[in-house]
């Protein structure tokens, strides 16, 4: 008995040591590895582990969980109107019959109850006749649909650290184009594929090996491909920023495989959870539906996090720290951004955009974006109407004085009503601050942004 007890203690201590080593590896050792000194495969493995670990940390922090819960609530309100609009458009093109199997595939993890829920939702959709709603009813229907996509965009903009959403006009045009055209293209492609597969020639080809086996294997893989492609499209289209295709594809593959795998696990859970039906009775199907919606939205948001960190690997860190620039660095950042924008403008080069500035400056999104907003409010730069917007000087660069630029940055956080009036002033300090301001003004004189741009000699290398 004593030996057995000692063995249990020894095993427990050994397990604790192993867990501590594993924790130290993911929190410290993994981030100290010099990726540049490794082979391609090992560097890929290290980057993948870092990406997955940060994705798990983002999930554990709770913000994505809260946003997924919010999207579940919005989905419950918007699902029938969204399907009604899509059904009306699909019916005009004669492919509306594909909507039911598509919805059933989404609810397949719910088991037999998924088919029952699909029939009920389709019944609601068929009873909602868009033509008899009237102008106000139709407007409310479209607003409900757009509000769902707006919620999704807000969640994605949070993940991508984008503070400026799409304008109302862009939201309406972009969202409606996806809602009206997207389902037609998707279901038309599905219909064409089904028609080709059912032809006599195709059936004869399938009877010949190894084509039959290859098509069978492809049939198992194609659902993953379609889901990953759908996630990739969402990651490119929804955020109000330029997302690289490769980064969106990485997030789409991660989320797509995770979604399909989770669906199979959830289906097994539903089959074995007979007690829930006994406890919740008729509400069990609704509860299971809400849980599956929640998991789907959560997977979508985690995949967006993977896409973001893949596009900006320089900001991938085990500790999510907010970058706060000192006043000196804010002044430096303002000068650098104005120099880059003014330099390209003066030399007729391609204008800078947010992503290109982030890549060049090697800074996170927030400080660069905040500085661009500040420079725009102070009248130093303008945004173009492009998507995403480019940045140009608001006026001729020889009329932008550097002392005015620095002064705007130094006083950016002061209230319109001077805060100096709210606390007691010390004359000695006031005189010293005035000398500093005069010294800065004297040092810069009438030097303009054009003078700063021309100070770079032709062919001079950047430091």
Are 306 and 251 spatial neighbours (Cβ–Cβ below 8 Å)? yes
Which span out of 112-121, 316-325, 372-381 was modeled with the highest average pLDDT? 372-381
Overall average pLDDT of the 309-328 stretch: 69
- Higher pLDDT: 245 or 327? It is 245
pLDDT (tens digit per residue) in 45-89:
877 787 777 777 766 666 788 888 888 888 887 777 777 776 666
Are 62 and 301 spatial neighbours (Cβ–Cβ below 8 Å)? no
pLDDT (tens digit per residue) in 417-450:
555 566 667 778 878 888 888 888 888 888 888 8
| Torsion angle defined by CA atoms of residues 185, 186, 187 and 190, in that order, rounded to the nearest 10 degrees | 120
pTM: 0.70
- Higher pLDDT: 191 or 163? It is 163
3-class secondary structure per residue, the chain:
CHHHHHHHHHHHHHHHHHHHHHHHHHHHHHHHCCHHHCCHHHHHHHHHHHHHHHHHHHHHHCHHHHHHHHHHHHHHHHHHHHHHHHHHHHHHHCCHHHHHHHHHHHCHHHCHHHHHHHHHHHHHHHHCCHHHCHHHHHHHHHHHHHHHHHHHHHHHHHHCCCCCCCCHHHHHHHHHHHHHHHHHHHHHHHHHHHHHHCCHHHHHHHCCCCHHHHHHHHHHHHHHHHHHHHHHHHHHHCCCCCCCHHHHHHHHHHHHHHHHHHHHHHHHHHHHCHHHHHHHHHHHHHHHHHHHHHHHHHHHHHHHHHHHHHHCHHHCCCCCCCCCCCHHHHHHHHHHHHHHHHHHHHCCCCCEEHHHHHHHHCCCHHHHHHHHHHHHHCCCEEECCCCCCEEEECCCHHHCEHHHHHHHHHCCCCCCCCHHHHCCCCHHHHHHHHHHHHHHHHHHCCCEHHHHHHCCCCCCCCC
Architecture of domain 327-454: Orthogonal Bundle (1.10)
pLDDT (tens digit per residue) in 134-155:
566 667 767 777 777 788 888 8
Whether residue 193 is predicted with pLDDT greater than 60 in this model: the reply is no
Chain centroid to Cα 28, Å, comes to 27
Are 83 and 103 spatial neighbours (Cβ–Cβ below 8 Å)? yes
> Residue 420 and residue 401: Cα distance in Å, rounded?
25
Q: Is the dihedral of CA 453, 457, 460, 463 positive or negative?
A: negative
Among 103-112, 311-320, 431-440, which is the least confidently predicted range? 311-320
């Amino acid at each position: 008995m004593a030996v057995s007890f000692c063995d249990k203690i020894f095993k427990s201590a050994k397990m604790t040591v192993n867990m501590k080593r594993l924790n130290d590896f993911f929190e410290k050792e993994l981030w100290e590895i010099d990726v540049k000194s490794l082979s391609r495969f090992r560097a890929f493995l290290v980057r993948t582990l870092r990406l997955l670990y940060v994705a798990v940390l983002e999930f554990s922090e709770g913000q994505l969980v809260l946003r997924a819960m919010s999207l579940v609530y919005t989905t419950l309100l918007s699902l029938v109107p969204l399907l009604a609009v899509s059904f009306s458009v699909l019916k005009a093109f004669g492919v509306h019959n594909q909507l039911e199997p598509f919805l059933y595939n989404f609810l397949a993890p719910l088991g037999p109850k998924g088919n029952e829920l699909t029939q009920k939702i389709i019944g609601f959709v068929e009873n909602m006749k868009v033509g008899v709603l009237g102008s106000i009813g139709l407007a409310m229907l479209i607003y409900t649909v757009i509000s769902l996509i707006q919620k999704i965009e807000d969640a994605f903009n949070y993940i991508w650290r984008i503070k400026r959403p799409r304008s109302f006009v862009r939201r309406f045009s972009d969202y409606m184009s996806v809602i009206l055209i997207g389902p037609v293209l998707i279901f038309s492609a599905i219909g064409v594929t089904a028609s080709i597969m059912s032809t006599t020639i195709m059936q004869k080809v399938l009877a010949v090996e190894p084509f039959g086996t290859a098509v069978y294997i492809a049939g198992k893989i194609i659902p993953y491909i379609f889901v990953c492609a759908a996630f990739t499209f969402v990651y490119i289209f929804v955020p109000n920023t330029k997302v690289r295709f490769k980064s969106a594809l990485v997030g789409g593959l991660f989320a797509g495989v995770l979604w399909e795998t989770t669906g199979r696990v959830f289906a097994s859970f539903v089959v074995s959870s007979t007690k829930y039906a006994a406890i919740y009775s008729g509400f069990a199907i609704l509860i299971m539906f809400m849980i599956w919606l929640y998991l789907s939205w959560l997977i979508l948001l985690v995949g967006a996090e993977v896409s973001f960190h893949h596009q900006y690997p320089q900001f991938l860190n085990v500790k999510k720290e907010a970058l706060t620039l000192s006043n000196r660095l804010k002044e430096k950042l303002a000068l650098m951004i104005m120099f880059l924008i003014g330099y390209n403008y003066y030399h007729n080069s391609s204008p800078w955009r947010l992503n290109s500035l982030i890549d060049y400056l090697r800074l996170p999104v927030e400080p660069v974006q905040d500085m661009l907003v500040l420079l725009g409010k102070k009248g130093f730069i303008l945004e173009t109407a492009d998507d995403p917007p480019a940045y140009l000087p608001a006026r001729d660069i020889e009329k932008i004085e550097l002392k005015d630029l620095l002064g705007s940055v130094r006083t950016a956080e002061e209230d319109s009503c001077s805060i100096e009036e709210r606390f007691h002033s010390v004359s000695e300090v006031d005189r010293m601050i005035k000398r500093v301001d005069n010294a800065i003004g004297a040092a810069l004189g009438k030097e303009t942004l054009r003078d700063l741009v021309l100070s770079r000699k032709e062919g001079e290398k950047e430091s």
